Structures are given as C-alpha cells and as structure tokens.
Amino acid sequence: MGSRALYALPAIVLALIALILAGIGFARSEPPAQAMPRKPTASNTAQSVRPDLFEYLVVTRPIASGEPIGEEQVTRVGTAQAVEGAISADRFKFGTPAAGPIQPGAILTRDLLSSTSLITPRIKPGHQAIALKTDEVTGVGGLLKPGDRVNVLATFKRDRQETPTAVVVVRDAPVLAVQGSLGSDSAAPDKERRNDSIVLLIPDARVPAVLLASNEGKVRLSAVASPDTRTGETAADSTAAMALADLFPKPPAPPKRQPVRRAPANQVQVFEGSESRKVYVR
C-alpha cells in the first residue's frame, strides 16, 4: 500500500500544480464586456429632426429691379431637397426690393435680393449718375466728399465775336462719389485713389445739359448748404445765364434832345393877275 502511494505521489503533485495554475489563470482573466447601447449619431439625429419638406417662394409674376416683393407676386412651394442659397418661406420679409429683374418661375434666393453694385443702390428714381472730371479748382479745392451738394456751372465762348456766357446748368446735385470713393475709403491716401472724377446724381431731364456743358464749355462746381440748414429758397431757374456784358455797369442814357421851337411864320397872299398864291414871311 505504501509502495502504491509512493508511485502515485508525482501524479498527485502534478495534478495539484495544474489546479493551482488553473486557479491563477481564472483569477487573472477579465469578465466578458457587456454590450453597451449605441448612442444615436449626429446624422441620425438630424434626420429625425429635419422636416419632411422645405418651403420656398417661387415668383409667379415678373418683378422689376428695385420693386418691393409682395405676397401676390409669389407662391409657396415644398421640396424634399434643400436648395442652396434659397430663402425659407417663413423667414422671407415681404416688401424687400429686388436687386434686379426677376422672371416668373425663379426661386427667391439671397442673390436676387442683394445687389453687388456699388452705385446702383444710391441712384434715386428719375435720376442718373454721371461722372465729371475735376481738379483742385473745379472740385471746390479738393474738399468735396460723398454726401455734399453742389451746383454745376459752365462757361461758354465758341469764337471771338460771341460774348462769353456763364450758365447754372444744375442746382443742388448730391455728390455720390469722389475720386472713385463712395465714402468708406475716403481716408485713403491720394496716391491710392482711382481717378480724378466726381460722380453726381443728376435728374434725367438735365443729363443732356450736363453732357453738353462738359464737352462744349468749362465746368466748375460750387458747394451749397444742405437742405436742412438753408434759410431761403434757391432760384428755380436751373438755366440762369449771365453774359460778360452783364458784369459791367451800363452807361447812363444820353439826355433827350429838346425839339427846337420856331416862331410861327406870317402868311401873305399874293395876287398876280387872275392867279394868287400864298407865301410865308418871317
């Protein structure tokens, strides 16, 4: 019996070692990871929040440039796809002017409502923007800025026989730009200015007169007070003219010559035979 136990002792030791190693391995092993619930991704959230339809405004009648857009000129249209640059129907403010002509069938976008032009938004109806070449003298010493108001004067003399004449071509014209500047870059150095011109806002009826004056005569500008600081009304005649002779005092008129009174003559009747005649004797 003792010999059998002696022979089984190595096997028992090996079994104990195996059990010990198995227990150590089990203790070091981590518990299996539990499956965590997935969080919804941003795309899934956006899809759940995004509305089924996007509503935009489509033009149904032609709209002119600068015309306010009203409810009667558009209709609501729903689409499943978002249109880039289009304005939502709920966010559009009626009465907004169009930047340019809009044809029926067009979707209202930001490009149709915002103008990229620098000068067009500053032109009033019934007026035109016209540029005149200026220097330090003709441009009121270079002191004019956008927002000032000027009179456009012109002098003419086509030949030596014609009397020089000065004319007020336009009164109270607003200055839109000076040397290519609309005012935002008015503090830029002179060397950075674009040109030596001034842009004025001229009524449609006076544009031909300004064009003729700039081509056929010498144009000069005179600064005037703003309307809110004036004390009296200006002359309504925009074509008031003055000739060179009007600058000098007129000579006094010569005295009127008194008529010479003569003494009345005596009438004598002379008879010569059967004939007679009358003569006057003094």
Are the CB atoms for 210 and 221 separated by under 8 Å? no
In whole numbers, what is the pLDDT of the chain averaged over residues? 75
Give the pLDDT score at 78.
87
Q: For the domain bounded by 46-116, which CATH number is listed? A: 3.90.1210.10
Q: Give domain limits for the chain.
A: 46-116, 121-227+235-247
- Segment 58-93, tens digit of pLDDT: 999 898 877 888 889 899 888 888 888 888 888 888
Label residue 44 by pLDDT band (50, 70, 90): very low
Give the pLDDT score at 25.
59
- Segment 238-276, tens digit of pLDDT: 456 767 666 667 777 778 877 777 666 667 677 777 777
Report the alpha-carbon distance of residue 57 to residue 135 in Å, rounded: 50
Give the pLDDT score at 83.
84
- Segment 134-189, tens digit of pLDDT: 888 888 888 888 989 999 999 887 666 667 888 899 999 999 988 888 875 444 44
Give the pLDDT score at 6.
56
Give 12 or 39, the one with higher predicted confidence: 12
pTM (whole model) above 0.85: no
